[in-house]
Chains A and B, each alone.
Chain A
Amino acid sequence: MSLEGFEVAVVGAGPAGSAAALTLAREGVQVLLVERGTFPGAKNVFGGRIYSYAIKKLLGDSWKEAPIERFVRKEGLTFMTDDSAFTIEYESKDPEGSFTAKRARFDKWLADQAEKAGASLITEARVDDLMIENGRVKGIVAGQDKIPANAVIACDGTTTGLARKAGLVKMLEPYQISMGTKDVVELPVETIEERLGLDPGEGAAHVFVGSCSNGTRGGGFMYTNKDSVALGMVVGGEDTSSKEIQSSTFMDRLRKHPKIRRLIKGGKTVEYDAHMIPEAGPKMLTRPYTDGMLVAGDAAGHLLNNGYTFRGVDIAIQAGVAAAQTLLEARKKQDYSAGTLQAFERKLRADPPLKDMYTFNRVPAYLRKSRLYNVYPELVCAAAEAVYRVDGNGKRKIFKELRSQAKGRVSLFSLVRDMISGSRTF
């Protein structure tokens, strides 16, 4: 393939890159999509769930041809101590709102759609640098190849290599990152459905807070695939260092819990995955554009953990589309300067699903409260134990019991303050 004559080079064939390439190719733009893995998705790791709206909007009815594992019917949250668990579960009336997936298959499929629309994909090509002339990005450098382009969209993932080369980001702070690890545990289809109380083809998503993270900022997750469960832990980058706990050991803490042990009993672990999560959100870049370049996806902090929904793929797709639309407007004017490309920022803030990133911008700071990971899960479990236990010693009314369980764990002042600031944050 000749690497000349491309109008736009998109770096990284993850959800942001493929969505951008697809949107551009549909409008007849000559677009090159560059992926360093042996296939799109080869390097990509997530928890396990994709919110459907973004691919519905991008692909219309054909979105259901995506490699969907299970539609998510059940949402669960468990507060846990080493030997107890308090679980809340919600059954959604519309499971098609989100689905579980495997990135090695989903990202490949999405890149296929971009190719079908006319984008040119090359794999096994690492982009090492940007071609920069007089402060303007003029293309990309991949090994020996210099590939000129009118504009570049950097969707090169969480290490933000190209954004850093363009001077749009300094090194992240450890508290702005989390480390995610994940075991994929194979189980028979029927076993998964029986153990989780699911109808055929439907799935569950579950979050775990408490002893699994050992007081560290973070928690566990579980998503059901067709014939496996994705079980993982996410822990704060600053805490693993200050507490001197190796990030890989949290998985074993989670798997040791009786609730998880029962769930994966007899299962076979078939893969171990890891991924760094840039929790800072869009503010990790000074701006997601410069002369001749836009940054989208993880590389620009386009993701959202608002404490109860964990979104990456849907937001990356929306951001990729917004980047492509920005370039389509720039193309009409034949002007790819930062002044024109700053329209990207406005699009990010105006797009309803992307706006969520700014609505919940105070969440990361709130989630650094350590009480959330030890005091409160313990309190919830201790209170539940006291409320449900009948041992013949006489019972107190619930509110009195709660007060007595809170005593010594957290001051009333801290509790009220956390509740008020929580109500403003979430």
Chain B
Amino acid sequence: MTLDKRLALVNFAKDPEPFIVVDTQKCEHCLRKPCLYICPAEVYSWQDKLNYNTEGCMETGACLVVCHKLGAGAIAWKYPSGGKGVTFKSG
């Protein structure tokens, strides 16, 4: 089952205010790019530069940990605004 199909099963309410902001300049010099692997929703991808799409973010916060400890310290992260972001039916 592809990740896209999995993510289609989850409800997301888009937050107009950006809750993840990446200083992608810093990522140019990032050797390990740990965000690409830890994120269960693959919010981060690499194509010539770091791209990120917060729609689909499951709000685990793990990207922040690995970015600051193994990566370039480029990710600024907070939860989406109240009522926005992911909602699980089961969890």
C-beta contact mask, B57-91 vs A, less than 8 Å → 1, else 0?
A: 01111101110111000000111111101111111
Contact A37 B65 (CB under 8 A): no
Q: How far is the CB of B5 from chain A (nearest CB, A)?
A: 8
0/1 interface trace, chain B 31-66, chain A, CB 8 Å (1 if under): 010101111111000000000000000111110111
Binds B, one of A130-138, A176-184, A188-196, A353-361: A176-184
Q: Knowing A37-B87, A246-B42, say if A241 contacts B70 (CB, 8 Å).
A: yes
Evaluate whether A271 and B9 lie within 8 angstroms (CB atoms) in the complex, with A38-B83, A45-B91, A123-B83 already known: yes
> Which residues of the other chain, B, contact A272 by a CB distance below 8 angstroms?
6-7, 9-10
Least CB separation from B34: chain A residue: A241
> Is the pair B40, A247 in contact by a Cβ cutoff of 8 Å?
yes
A225 to B1, CA, bound (A): 21
Contacting residue for B61 out of A44, A102, A159, A181, CB 8 A? A159
Within 8 A of B (CB), among A81-105: 102-104
Q: Are A271 and B61 in contact (CB under 8 A)?
A: no
A215 is an interface residue with CB less than 8 A from chain B: no
Binds B, one of A20-28, A166-174, A377-385, A404-412: A166-174
Tell me if B64 and A248 are in contact (CB < 8 A).
no
A104 vs chain B, min Cβ distance (A): 5
Whether the Cβ atoms of A241 and B6 lie closer than 8 Å is no
Would B60 and A179 count as touching, CB distance under 8 A?
yes
How many chain B residues touch A (Cβ–Cβ < 8 Å)?
41
In the complex, A172→B66 CA distance in Å? 9
**Interface readout for A155-172 with B: 1 if CB under 8 Å, 0 if not?**
000110100000000011
Name the one of B69, B79, B88 contacting A104, with C-beta atoms under 8 angstroms: B88
Partner of B38, one of A46, A171, A241: A241
Q: Which residues of A contact B69 (CB under 8 A)?
A: 171-174
CB distance B38 to A274 under 8 Å? Answer: no
Kindly supply a per-residue 1/0 record for chain A positions 383-395, scoring 1 wherever the CB is within 8 Å of any chain B CB and 0 otherwise: 0000000000000
Q: What separation, in Å, do the CA atoms of A378 and B90 have in the docked complex?
A: 34
Pairwise interchain contact B66-A237, C-beta atoms closer than 8 A: yes
Chain B positions near chain A (C-beta within 8 angstroms): 1, 3, 6-7, 9-10, 13, 32, 34, 36-42, 58-62, 64-66, 68-70, 77-83, 85-91
Given contacts A161-B78, A248-B41, 15 further A-B contacts (CB under 8 A): A37-B87, A41-B88, A41-B91, A44-B91, A102-B89, A102-B90, A103-B90, A104-B91, A159-B79, A171-B64, A174-B38, A174-B66, A179-B60, A252-B1, A272-B6
| Nearest 9 CB-CB pairings of A with B | A124-B83, A159-B61, A103-B91, A272-B6, A274-B40, A241-B34, A124-B82, A276-B60, A240-B37
